[in-house]
Structure 1
Amino acid sequence: MSATIIFLPAHADQPWRWLRLENNAVAARGEGAPEQTGGETIAVAPADAVTLHWSSLPARSQAQAVAAARIVVSDASAAPIDGLHVAVGEASEDERPIGVVAIERMREWLASLSGLGIDPGAIVPAPLLIAPPVEGYVRAELGGQPVIRGATSGFADEARLTELVTGGRPPETLGRDEVELNIISSATSPQLNLRQGPFARRKRRAVDWPLIRRLAVLAGLVLLLTLMIDLVRITRYAIAADAAEAQAEALAREGLPRGADQGDAGRLLSERLSRLRGPGAGFSATVAVLANATREVEGTEVIAIAFEPSGELRATVAANGEAQANQLLDRLRGAGFAVTASTFQSDGQRVRGDVTAALP
C-alpha cells in the first residue's frame, strides 16, 4: 500500500503534519507543506471538528441510511441541521458510525487542500483511525491532537469532557508504534469517509479508446450498408428503365410497316405518323375542328372539303345568314387556326362561301 496521511490542523496557526505509508509501514513523516509523491491521499479531520454517533441504520441504500442518520442527528444536535454535513460509515456489527461536521468547515478543508494541489480520496475523522477497544477507552496522539476512542465513541481529549464520558476511569494511552499500526490498518479501508453527498470526490472518466474504435467501426459499417442499399436501389431502377425502354421499342416496331424496322424505332414511328397525319395539324385533327364548329353553330353545314398537301383545309360551307357564318369562322379561329374566307353569296334563303383553315 502507498498512501499519504495528512492531518488537517485544528486551527489556522497550527502546522500541517503528514505521514507517508509504503509497504504497510511509515516510510516518512514531516511538518509543514504536505508532500505528495504518489498513491492515495487521506486527510484526517480534527477530532474537535467532527461529532461522532453510532446508530442502527437501514442498509438498503446509502441514501436511505443518510436520511435516517439526519433524523438521529437532528434529535441530538443543537445546531440547525441545514448547516450540517452528515456522513454514514460502514456497519460495525449492528451499528454504523455517523459523522457530523459543519458544511462550512468541510468547504474550508477542501479549499485549503486544493490550494496545495491535493484532492484527497477520503477525509476521515481522527478518532476513527484508532481501532475500538474491547472495553474501556484508549487515548492516542494523532497529528499533535490527543483523541479518545471507545467502543462506540470518539472525541477530542479534553480533561472535563473525558472524565465525564469515561466516568473518571483513565483511558489507556497508546504508544507511537501502536498508533502507527492503527493508522496503517485504518488507511487501508476507512470506516467512515466524510467525502459523501455534495462533497463526494468527482470521478475522472478516462477515455475508452477501444470503445471509441468499436463505435467508429460500427458507424463505418452503417454508412457502408447505407451506400450498398442505395447502389442496389439505383441498379434496380436502371434495370427497370432498360426493360421499359426495350418494351417501348418493341411496341414501336410493331407499328412500323414490314421491312421498315432498321434504325431508331421511335424516330421511324414518328415519321410514319407524320406522313399519315399529313402536314400542319393533320387531316383528321383539322376536319374534327371544322366538324365541331359546325355542330356548335346552329344553321351551318359543310358542303364540300378538300385537304391540300400544304396542310390547308378548304371547305365550302352554307349558313342561314352571315351572322351564323361569322360565328363559324370565330370558332375556327378560337381553335388556333388561321382562317380566310371568301365573300358569302346568297343562295336562295341561305348563304354560301369558301373557307380556308390552317395552322399559322
Structure 2
Amino acid sequence: MSRFFITVFPTTENQVLQWWLVDSDEAVLEAKGSDVDPLLAAGLQRLSGESEKAENGGSDTGVPEKEPLVMIALMPSARGVVRWHDPMDGLTEQQILAAARLAARERSLDGENVHIAATMDGSGGAVTATVGKDVMASGLLKLKALGIDPDAVVPAGWLITPREDVVIEADFGFEKLLRGKRMIVPDEPDLRAHLIGDSAVIALPQAVDEALANLGTHEAEKLSLNLRCGDFAKKIRRSMTLRQKRILGWMALAALVISLLIPIIQLVKYHRAASAADEAALAIARPLTGPVESAEEADRLLSERFIGENRGNIIFSVPTSALFSAVQKAEGVVIEKISYRRDGMVSAALGAVRAGDINQVVTALRNAGFIITSTARTDAAGASKADIMVRAP
C-alpha cells in the first residue's frame, strides 16, 4: 500500500495551505483540509529524531511508516506557466526537450531568473513549465520549515486530464483554473473569452478530488512535468535499514573469517609440504642408515657415518688439515678450489704471485709424510698456479 500527501506550493508568508491524503491503491481520498501546518493537520507530524526515521528507512515524516508516502506540491498556475511546443522533425527526444526549454526561456520576461521543467506530450511535441527561481527556492524553504520535502512539484492543472474540444473548469480551492488540450491558465473572468474563444466550458466540481484520488493509476504521466529537477532536484538522503545493517555486519564478519583462514590454510599447506619433504629425505637415507623414524635421527646417523669414514661435514680430514696448516705458514698462497674424493684424497688448486711460495707448501706436506703430486702452471696474467693432490701415508 502507498499513499500520496499533496499540498499547495507556498508563494506567500504564513500561507494557509490546502492538503489531501490519498490512498493510491484503493484510489480513495482519505482526508483533506486546509491549515498553516498541513502535515500536522493530516496526522503526519514529524518524527522526533533522525534515528527513528533511519530505522524505518523512510522519509522525514512520521507516524510509524507502514507504507511509502509520496509527497507532492501543486504549483499555482499563476506562478508556474505551462506552454506547449510543436513537434520538430529529425531531432531526438533530448534535443526536442532542450529546444523547448530554450523557447520557454526566450518567451519569459526574465529569462535569466527562471527555472524550467520539460517533458514530452505524447504526440512528438514538448511541454514546459516555467517558474521564477526565487519563487521555487522560497517555496521549498517554507515547505522544509513545515517538515515537507516534496518528491515532486507539478503545475496543479497538469493533474487534470483534458478532454477533446472542451475546456474544464477545475476549482482546487486555492485557485480556479481552466484546463484545455493545450492550455493550463488561471480562470480570470475578464480574460476567459479571450483565452478560450468559442470553446465550451464545463465545470466539474469533483474533477480535482477524482484526479487526486486516481493519481496512483497514472503516476508516471501526472508527475512527468516535475519542477524538482536540475538545481532544485530533491537530494536523496541515503540511510540504511536495520536489515541492511545486519547484512553488512555479516559480510564484514565473513571477510574477517576469510582473512584469518587464508594464513591458516597456508600454514597447513606448508606443514604438509614439509612433511612430504621429510618423508622423501627418509626414503633416501634409509638405505644408508637403516630404519629411522625421523629426519633428525637420519641426519645424526649420517653425520656419524661420515665422521667414521673421515669425510663428515663437521671436521677436516687429516690431509685437509695438513694442507690448510701448510698454506697458513706460506705468505701469499691461497686455496682457490678444493674437493674431496671417496678414497680420502684431497684435490686442490693453489695460487700465488711467485712459484717459490707454492713450492714451500708442497715441501712442507712432503716433509710431513703425505703423498703429494703437484702440477705447476701459469695463468694469463702471469700468476703462478699449482694443481695438487694430497693423500695420507
TM-score by length of 2: 0.61
The 1:271–1:173 alpha-carbon spacing in structure 2 relative to 1, beyond 3 Å, is: same
Equivalence for 1:194: 227
User: Judging changes above 3 Å, is the alpha-carbon distance between structure 1 residues 262 and 251 closer, same or farther for their aligned structure 2 residues?
Assistant: closer
- How do residues 140-159 of structure 1 correspond to structure 2 at under 5 angstroms? 140-159=170-189
Corresponding residue of 2:19: 18
Are 1:297 and 2:357 matched, yes or no? yes
Residue 237 of structure 2 is aligned to residue 177 of structure 1: no
Which residue does 1:237 correspond to in 2? 273
The residue that corresponds to 1:285 in the other structure is: 320
Task: For 1:287 and 1:200, locate their aligned partners in 2 and report how far apart those are by CA, in whole Å.
Answer: 96
1:284 deviation in Å?
Answer: 0.8
* Matches of 1:14 and 1:212, distance apart in 2: 45
Contact 1:66–1:87 under 8 Å retained in 2: no
Residues 119 and 62 from structure 1, CA distance in 2 versus in 1: closer, same or farther, beyond 3 angstroms?
farther
Aligned equivalents of 1:84 and 1:284: distance in 2? 106
Distance 1:78 1:280, change over 3 A: closer
Higher alpha-carbon Rg: 1
CA contact (8 A) 1:7 1:16 kept: yes
Aligned residues: 298
Superimposed CA distance per residue, residues 132-166 of structure 1 (whole angstroms, 9 cap, x where no aligned partner): 23224333322322222221011223355544322
> Which is worse superposed, 111-120 or 226-235?
226-235
Displacement of 1:176:
3.1
Q: Which residue of 1 aligns with 2:9?
A: 8
For 1:226 and 1:142, locate their aligned partners in 2 and report how far apart those are by CA, in whole Å.
Answer: 68
Report which stretch shifted further, 117-126 or 290-299.
290-299
Match of 1:97 in 2: 127
Q: Are residues 1:265 and 2:301 paired?
A: yes
CA distance in 2, matches of 1:280, 1:21: 100
Structure 2 residue corresponding to 1:46, chosen from 76, 92, 106: 76
The answer to whether the Cα contact below 8 Å between 1:21 and 1:184 also exists between their aligned partners in 2 is: yes
Letter in 1 for 2:107: A
Q: 1:64 to 1:270 in 2, by over 3 A?
A: farther
Q: Which residue of 2 aligns with 1:77?
A: 108
Gaps of 5+ in 2: 45-68, 291-296, 334-354, 371-393
| Aligned-partner SS, 1:297 | helix
Deviation per CA, 1:164-188: give whole Å up to 9, x if none.
3223x58736253233223333465
The one-letter amino acid of 1:29's match is G
- Structure 2: how far apart are the matches of 1:2 and 1:299? 112
- Structure 1 length as normaliser, TM-score? 0.65
Aligned partner of residue 117 in structure 1, secondary structure: coil
Q: Cα RMSD (Å) of the superposition?
A: 4.2
User: 1:241, 1:182 → 2: CA distance?
Assistant: 83
Is the 1:50–1:100 contact (alpha carbons within 8 Å) kept by the matching residues of 2? yes
Query: What residue ranges of structure 1 are gaps of 5+ in the alignment?
Result: 255-260, 308-312, 314-360
CA distance in 2, matches of 1:155, 1:244: 96
Counterpart AA for 1:17: Q
Distance of aligned partners of 1:91 and 1:217 in 2 relative to their CA distance in 1, 3 Å threshold: farther
Alpha carbons of structure 1 residues 251 and 289: separation in structure 2 relative to 1, 3 Å: farther
Q: Percent identity?
A: 23
